[in-house]
Amino acid sequence: MAERKIFAGPKVRRIRNTLALTQTAMAEALEISPSYLNLIERNQRPLTVQLLLKLSSVYRIDLEELQGETPGGLGQLKEVFADPLLSGELPGDQELVEVADAAPNAAGGVVKLYRAYREQAARLSDLTALMAGDDRVPVASGRLPLDEVREVLERRPAYFADIEAAAESFANGLAAGGDLKDWLKNERGIATRILPVHVMPDLRRRFDRHSMRLFLSERLSRADQAQEIAIEVARLALRPEIEAALDELPLSSDEARRIARFELTRSAALALLMPYGAFLLAAQNTRYDIDLIRARFAVSFGQAAARLVMLQRPGAAGIPFFLMERDAVGHVIRRAGAHGFPQARFGGNCPKLNIHAAFQEPGRILAETVVMPDGSTFLTVARTLEGPVVEFGERVRRTALLIGCDAALRDSLVYGRSDVLPVAVGPACRLCERRGCLSRAEPPLTRPLALDETSAGLGSFDFQ
């Protein structure tokens, strides 16, 4: 069989420049002549299999990066410029070849921008048709892909068996005394660096695959920096398990799959930071005291709470928690549950829930029992979460998180000690028929308003 010829001169030159090597120094390391390396970099000589292996062993280069198409490669650029909007801009493919070889990062940016343009155009088309009353367009098409992903993940358990098993096996296999940051450096040649705000003002994390460096913002706390490192490790080491879990989700678009892939990678990162067996044992021994757990694993309150929701391994399950995060004006950031978020039973939209009161006492843990109109009770624990560090003059990003479970399990939790009477709540004002509620923000859909000029109730909306 003829030996495959690979022309990757610009990639070899970029690797050499990144390492600040002269052609003579690189040629000596590869055991070839400088003139031959010069021909390779000008695409006048191919990279043989032997030379590929030499590059990989000397400089720890991923062979797929040299052989395969990188983001912003020629094929993807051709797809972009085949669009009717751009099809007449270029007389041929030669300029695309030059851009893909000489400026792959810029080419990748063009591809990302084009994808964003197509996705926004599709959304606008669906929204236009929906507002025009086109009966052929189902209501579901008006949802954003993010809404679709949230609905899918909220309805199913937050436990992914293959990801959990792979993450625990990976954590157990780390070298003694080693951590995820060491693994990135030793196994993949990826160095981690913290950048100041003025260098990376708008990003939490950025991986530069050409210099093999992972940049993290100094705005992030130590726990958040650790999570970003874990996300990068999960992306590299747990990719098959993440893709398998992604294939099981009923998603309708490529954009929804990309969003779901990120959410699954975040879950895998938590599993790496808090391996299942050790975390479950710590949770049970501390009676699910989130502050003690987060100190033991050097994570944040929000990370530890989110991990508690994921403890549903058959035969080794934790308490079936559910979780909700909101901002100060009530926007839902995320919802999840050990068996899916209990939307029908709990709702989560009552203004009397302690997740709203948490904003009045930042950093304090509020625990209380709530009773629903049907008599079901839940133990709820709420606390505010702080976002990245801000510069002077910026507003702090503060959200509140609620984690809850069936009140019948309260004796197993440190938060179940309170003897305070249960708080009467409802699923949402529009669905709640409790009379005389001082916190009611909307009238119930099921009752007519009581418009009596001679008397008025305690609530803002009296109803019959």
pLDDT for residue 301 is more than 50: yes
Cβ atoms 400, 325 nearer than 8 A: yes
Q: What digits encode the pLDDT tens for the residues 1-56? A: 344 566 777 778 878 887 888 889 888 888 899 888 888 888 788 888 788 888 87
CB atoms within 10 A of CB 217: 22
- For residue 47, the 8-state DSSP code is B
How far from the centroid of its chain's Cα atoms is residue 155's Cα?
Answer: 18
pLDDT category, 62, cuts 50, 70, 90?
low
Q: What digits encode the pLDDT tens for the residues 318-369? A: 999 999 999 998 899 999 999 999 988 898 889 999 999 999 999 999 999 9
Q: What digits encode the pLDDT tens for the residues 263-288? A: 999 999 999 999 999 999 999 999 99
Residue 463 pairs with which residues in a beta bridge? 449
What is d(CA 59, CA 339) in angstroms, rounded to the nearest whole number?
47
Q: Which of 381, 380, 383 is nearest to 360 (CA)?
A: 383
Cβ atoms 48, 3 nearer than 8 A: yes
What is d(CA 435, CA 450) in angstroms, rounded to the nearest whole number?
12
Cα torsion through 404, 407, 412, 413, rounded to 10:
40
pLDDT value of residue 406 = 94
pLDDT value of residue 126 = 56
**Mean pLDDT of the 410-422 span:** 83
pLDDT value of residue 464 = 60
What is d(CA 56, CA 171) in angstroms, rounded to the nearest whole number?
26
Q: Cα-flanking dihedrals φ and ψ of residue 452, to 5°?
A: -110, 115
- For residue 451, give both structure tokens: 């418009």
Residue in the block written with tokens 């292996």: 53
What is d(CA 10, CA 102) in angstroms, rounded to the nearest whole number?
6
pLDDT value of residue 202 = 87
Q: What digits encode the pLDDT tens for the residues 435-459? A: 778 888 887 776 777 666 666 666 6
The per-residue pLDDT of the chain, averaged, comes to 84
What is d(CA 326, CA 403) in angstroms, rounded to the nearest whole number?
12
> What predicted TM-score, i.e. pTM, was given to this entire model?
0.71
pLDDT value of residue 419 = 63
pLDDT category, 169, cuts 50, 70, 90?
very high
Identity of the amino acid at 317: A
Q: What digits encode the pLDDT tens for the residues 188-242? A: 999 999 999 989 888 999 998 888 999 999 999 999 999 999 999 999 999 999 9
pLDDT value of residue 78 = 74
Identity of the amino acid at 27: A
pLDDT value of residue 86 = 72
- For residue 454, give both structure tokens: 């001679």
In 85-160, alpha helices (H):
94-102, 104-131, 145-155
Q: Which of 138, 143, 139, 112 is nearest to 258 (CA)?
A: 112
Q: What digits encode the pLDDT tens for the residues 349-363? A: 899 999 999 999 999
More confident residue, 154 or 117: 154
- For residue 4, give both structure tokens: 């495959």
3-state secondary structure 407-450: HHHHHHCHHHHCCCCCEECCCCHHHCCCCCCCCCCCCCCCCCEC
Q: Which domains does the chain have, with CATH numbers?
A: 9-68 (1.10.260.40), 69-142 (no CATH), 145-273 (1.10.10.2910), 304-427 (3.30.450)
Q: Which of 118, 139, 6, 1 is nearest to 61 (CA)?
A: 6
- Strands (DSSP E) contained in 300-438 are 312-313, 316-317, 322-327, 332-337, 366-371, 377-386, 398-406, 423-424
- For residue 257, give both structure tokens: 């799959």
Identity of the amino acid at 128: T
Q: Distance of CA 167 to CAs 162, 292, 294, Å?
A: 8, 23, 19
Question: How does DSSP assign 110-131, residue by residue?
Answer: HHHHHHHHHHHHHHHHHHHHHH
Q: What digits encode the pLDDT tens for the residues 105-137? A: 777 778 778 777 777 776 665 555 555 554 444
**Mean pLDDT of the 91-113 span:** 73
Cβ atoms 37, 26 nearer than 8 A: yes
